[in-house]
Amino acid sequence: MFSNNKPKVAIIGAGMSGLGAAIKLLESGYSCVILESQAEAGGLAGSFSIDKKYFPFGYHHILCQDKPLLKTLKKLGLYPQVAWKKGKVLFAVDNQIYNLENPWEFIKFPMSWKAKIKFAKLMAYCFLKKDWEKSLGNAQNWLDKIAGEEVRKTIFDPLMDIKYGLPSENLSANWLGSRLHYQEFSKPLGYLPNQDWTKVLTDKMAEKVKELGGEIITNAPVTKIRFNQNKVTGLTYVRQNQSYDINTEIVINTAPPHIFLSLCDYQDTKLQKVEYLDALSLILETEQKLPRELYLLSCLRPRYSFGGIFMLSSLNRTIGVKNGTIVNFFTTLSPKYEYLRSQNSEELLETYQRDFEKIFGFRLEPIWHHLTLIKNYSPKFLNDYKNPETRGNIPGLYFAGNYLTYPIITSTGSAIASGEKAADYIIQDHDGH
Ligand SMILES: Cc1cc2nc3c(=O)[nH]c(=O)nc-3n(C[C@H](O)[C@H](O)[C@H](O)COP(=O)(O)OP(=O)(O)OC[C@H]3O[C@@H](n4cnc5c(N)ncnc54)[C@H](O)[C@@H]3O)c2cc1C
């Protein structure tokens, strides 16, 4: 139900943050329009289809500790369909594969006993530590202090290179510690059997927005945000080569900060400092079976063209078109791997196949494959990272997205929660509660 005295809110981006914000505002009686530059809602949690079956652009699992996501799944009636399974995480070192949860393989893992004990202590320390807000400095010093140099060099330096292409001295200890605390892969991971859950969730959230009277305009990049010193006045978007103006006093931006800053003349040093990385995600289906059951294989040494391989069908067995093995090769486009950006999907497949063969000893032959360049895959959580504010410094301007949720793990739920937080601030600022 709209109330006439509530202003219209324009939201930039129909990802999890934008959809989460819109649902909360619409339920509180605001009217909302979401402008999305892509053809479909979903953003980073978007999907592609092959033979009418949907797949996420890159691996997506439901984290059992992700309260905002679980709440949303419950609200949309999807929660009873969620199935849970523990995903096996393995590490490749010198073309040998190790499961560190298996005592025998932990013993064989190429690291000294002293380092293994310190590694176990680090994991226990992170599990028990609750507060990750107070700055712990850079990840290198912190790891060396708690776990020692050998653990850092064998396990964490390679993992940081895979994730960001940066040495651990540039990255935040808080970000790393809070990820280890979360124990993402020690707990069961959720999915919707036989379906791509991110597609189902996005569609349900978009449906909810429409059912509550909101509007989602796709293929509609915002090209300008207008404001004067005292307030937001509106924005401009383009659709089918035509420019459209929306007059509004309230805008929520969920696009990455560098995109937002290119749309207006706005000064904010925290926003200006946020840097992003792109990533390549190649998904394929094969009739071959991998010799080992795994959900994620992280390649610690040597570094291959991909940092990790996810086997999506090990979690969700029936996700494939032919119920074969679904493999997701993933490469963060840090400067060292930038050369892969120019490879087309056939060339990249060949590069990945060559490296895959070095580890598994046979050539992977896909039935189909699909490559996505995931733009703005993740902010870089550098050691001096500061969250920008949810309220902008011009009345009527608000921000949501994972660049505001450091140091907690970035997830679909953290994005939804950041959208809901922006909506709460708008409700407080305009309704006075
Ligand atoms: C490969 C990968 C794997 C992941 N795995 C998991 C997982 O297993 N579990 C989990 O919970 N989370 C996972 N995540 C994280 C989760 O997908 C994200 O945190 C979440 O989707 C981010 O949502 P968002 O709305 O904040 O940002 P985005 O999805 O980036 O949304 C921003 C939107 O703004 C739009 N936009 C940008 N510029 C403009 C403009 N000028 N005009 C209009 N629109 C614009 C974009 O197109 C986009 O749709 C993963 C993410 C990736 C990339």
Query: For residue 417, how many other CB atoms are within 10 A of its CB?
Result: 23
Radius of gyration of the chain (CA): 22
Which residue, by CA, sits nearest to atom 17 of ligand 1? 45
Q: Are residues 311 and 371 in the same domain?
A: yes
pLDDT score at 2: 44
Answer whether residue 93 is part of any domain: no
Q: How much is the pLDDT for 6?
A: 81
Q: What is the pLDDT of residues 75-102, one digit of tens each?
A: 999 999 999 999 999 999 999 999 999 9
Has residue 76 been placed in a domain?
no
Check whether 7 has a pLDDT greater than 90.
Answer: no
pLDDT number for residue 432: 73
**What pLDDT score does 228 carry?**
86
Dihedral of alpha carbons 315, 317, 319, 320, sign: positive
Same domain, 222 and 369: no
**Residue 4 scores a pLDDT above 80:** no
Q: How many percent of the chain have pLDDT more than 90? A: 91
Residue nearest to atom 1 of ligand 1 (CA): 58
Contact 203, 372 (CB under 8 A): no
CA dihedral 34→38→39→44, nearest 10 degrees, is: -90
Residue 3 clears pLDDT 60, i.e. is over it: no
Residues 283, 262 within the same domain: no
CATH for 18: 3.50.50.60
Show the tokens assigned to 96: 């040998």
Confirm whether 392 is domain-assigned: yes
What residues form DSSP beta bridges with 47? 56
Residue 131 and residue 167 in one domain: yes
Are 218 and 364 in the same domain? Answer: no
Q: What's the mean pLDDT in 270-283? A: 97
Q: What is the pLDDT of residues 292-340, one digit of tens each?
A: 999 999 999 999 999 999 999 999 999 999 999 999 999 999 999 999 9
Q: Which atom of ligand 1 is nearest to the CA of 14?
A: 49
Shared domain for 109 and 235, answered yes or no, is no
Would you say residue 404 lies in a domain?
yes
Ligand 1 atom nearest to CA at 378: 53
Both 399 and 355 in one domain: the answer is no
Q: Are strands 308-311 and 250-253 parallel, antiparallel or unpaired?
A: unpaired
Q: Does residue 92 have its Cβ closer than 6 Å to ligand 1? A: no
Domain limits for position 130: 105-174
What would the mean pLDDT of 189-218 be, rounded to a whole number? 98
pLDDT at 137 > cutoff 80? yes
The number of folded domains in the chain is: 3
Per-residue confidence at 414, pLDDT binned at 50, 70, 90? very high
Residue 132 forms part of a structural domain? yes
208 within 8 A of 73, measured Cβ to Cβ? no
Report pLDDT for 40. Answer: 98
Q: Are residues 341 and 412 in the same domain?
A: no
Neighbouring residues of 351: CB distance < 8 A, sequence distance ≥ 6: 305, 340, 343
**What's the pLDDT band for 1 if we cut at 50, 70, 90?**
very low
**pLDDT exceeds 80 at position 229:** no
pLDDT, mean over the chain: 95
Question: Closest residue (by CA) to atom 10 of ligand 1?
Answer: 411
Of 202, 399, 412, the one to substitute when testing ligand 1's pocket (max ligand atoms within 8 A of C-beta) is 412
- Going from the Cα of 423 to the center of ligand 1, the distance in angstroms, rounded, reads 18
Q: Residue 243 pLDDT more than 90?
A: yes
Task: Tell whether 246 is covered by a domain.
Answer: yes
